[in-house]
Structure 1
Amino acid sequence: KTPTLGTASAFITMALDSNLHEIHSESGYMQYIATRPRVQRRGSHGLFSAAPSVDLDTAMSQLESHEGNVWTIIYSLRREDASRLGYDHAEAWRSLLMRHTKDLAKAMKIPTDHFRWYAAFHDEGHHPHIHMMVWSDHPKEGFLSRDGIAAMRSKLTNSIFRDEMNALYQRKDVAYKELTETAQDTMRELIHRMARQLWDSPIIEENMGQLVQALETTSGKKQYSYLKKPLKTLVDNIVDELAKQPEVAQCYKAWNRIRDELNQCYNNIPREHLPLSQQKEFRKIKNDVIREAENIRLGLLTFEDEAMRDEPEPEDTAEEHLSYSVYEQAHRYRAAKDVLQDIYALDEEHTQAVGELEQLWDEGYTVAAHQLGKFFR
């Protein structure tokens, strides 16, 4: 089987060299990486840099006279990836480091003109790698943080695995689209069933009902970022219940799998799989839920198939369901509200509308009380 990013074989590891404590000086370490067994030599040693050729004694002399910090770093690939991608010889690594000299210098907070580096390629069995030594001509310059390491890893990873990374990001985009569309379709189907009082998810039914009512008294933009915290909680509850629906769960699992593959390229720590409501990339699903709730509140049909208007009511609805459809309640509320706000409506129509709102209040549609209060002021 061809190794892929998904098998965790295609990523760069990066670490401080654990052998440094055994070497008594930086120049001794340089000689060690340049001449140790399995180093790929260019003449008498394997040291290389941006210069076409490197004299080992001269490089060691430069290092001995340096009074500042020296960073020693290992970049490692798995054997199958190094062979497949052409990074199983020193020249490929030299070209890579030369292309990214500015990026590496920036990550280490060293001006490019002051940035100095040497490296050697070791053709180890399972993990061919390079040892790299880095410093600045100015002794007080240079700092390597976690963010700097992540930036260096990212630049090299994207360069080495460019084609595979592009394909992986394309798969991620497709998975994102499939998940958002599936969540929207599932939400609409559930609302369709709510309108027919055929409940699949009591939790979505309850939270959607509360959200519809809350939107009646909510001013401003009906978008997640503008809602108050209690309403955001309702939306989050709905989204997390949506994520339990088989079709949505399958799409979210596929998206997470691709994100895990990408994460392995930049980080050795496994990423956390958050609830769908807490995944920032999927804010669109939250706004889709709010939009559907607002359509219910306004009495609008949002389903692509509006044939539900002509569907017969289930014969056992009244017997098996003592609750009321939030869709049906919202429709009744909106009709009664329109009558009470109509200055040309007859007194009899006002009386019927008040009775409807009182009935809705008895059913637990609490926002009806707000409208009744406004009418009797």
Structure 2
Amino acid sequence: MPPFFMKARFYLPGGDNSYKNIAHIVYIGTRPGVDRGDADIGDRYFEKFKIDSPAGHVKYAAERPRSHGLFGADEKPLDIKQVMEELKQHDGIVWRFVLSLREDTAKRMGYIDRKSWEDALRASVSEAAGAMGIPESNLRWVAAYHAEAGHPHVHLVIWEKEAQRRRGVLSDGERKDVRKAFIKSFYAAERSRLGVEKTALRDMIRDVARGEMDRAHDLVVRIKSARQEVRAMEGGTTGVAPRLSDSDREDLARRVENLAKIMPGKGRVALKYMPEEVKAEAREIADWLLAKPGFAASSGRYKEIAREMAGHYTSQDQRLNQAEENAYNDLRDRVAQLVLKTAAQVQKRGPDKAGRDYSFSLAGNLWRNVWHAIEKARSREEARGEMEKRAQDEKRMRRREKEKEQER
């Protein structure tokens, strides 16, 4: 089995397929750990229990309160009966995916519990659906994690809110892009770790090759130490985002809607290309987010790290303050870019037609995306700071050693 495995099937509307889709939802949601990764297993469950109406599935699920393991785009718990009813009424295609990792790969990368898989899917499903031509605004999905020995996996079910796509089969290009979207999310931390470790080792080997071959043992020690810090560069799991209150959700949705109204209707959605008025508004929203409880501590620490790293080279308050300000501006603009992308989604539908539920949903997604971005940036800067501190300590140690040799 390859380190990452993806299987995809589709079910056209009509016939028994709506009931089979409902049966599949019930099965993956209420029987965690039993499924072996077969995307057809829901159909056999349908045949086994001879359920000829959605009412039978509703009764089965209702008799097992809180027993299902379904999750979706939002962290809010799902009502399995509502999902089943929605699929019953759905008149479009339903896609089923099985995404699996080898157990050794899952352990190495930290995918050992439901939350880690939830985070990976929430970071990738919208991009994968986009590769299928399904925009996030028209996307619905649910999934369930099965901690199967040897190959932990998730069952993912995707459909459109309003049926538009008429072709169920994925082209070779679409399948490749969908797979790439999932791999990019699952392996993001691993790629970051390997890339930074490669750079760190290259730089240290280069330094030693410049005439310090007698410090080979020290190089080994430094490499081991660097590897420990490089692992921190991936940040691990960013945890659950701070709770978004109803008032903040409403405020954030309103701010994003107002931004959408003044954004250009065409062109690249990038902060640096936006008119000054749009830049200012996006940055104001970013400032508002970064000042929120839960976010403020991480953004504050990000600035502190920049100041500490600058302190390795200067003690002038003006330069230290400037380093801190530059770090904050960099982080704020990263957040502002996320804000712009969310506003672009509102604009695409039309700010006045987006609707309260749609805007609120986007506000929740933006809140979580900002949290993940801040936490990853902070953890990376902390690791960089530790590596820089060690490098400065070693320079001072070498300087003292040379001074002692000269005194002799």
TM, length-normalised to structure 2 = 0.36
By percentage of residues, which structure has more helix? Answer: 2
The structure with the larger Rg is 1
TM, length-normalised to structure 1 = 0.39
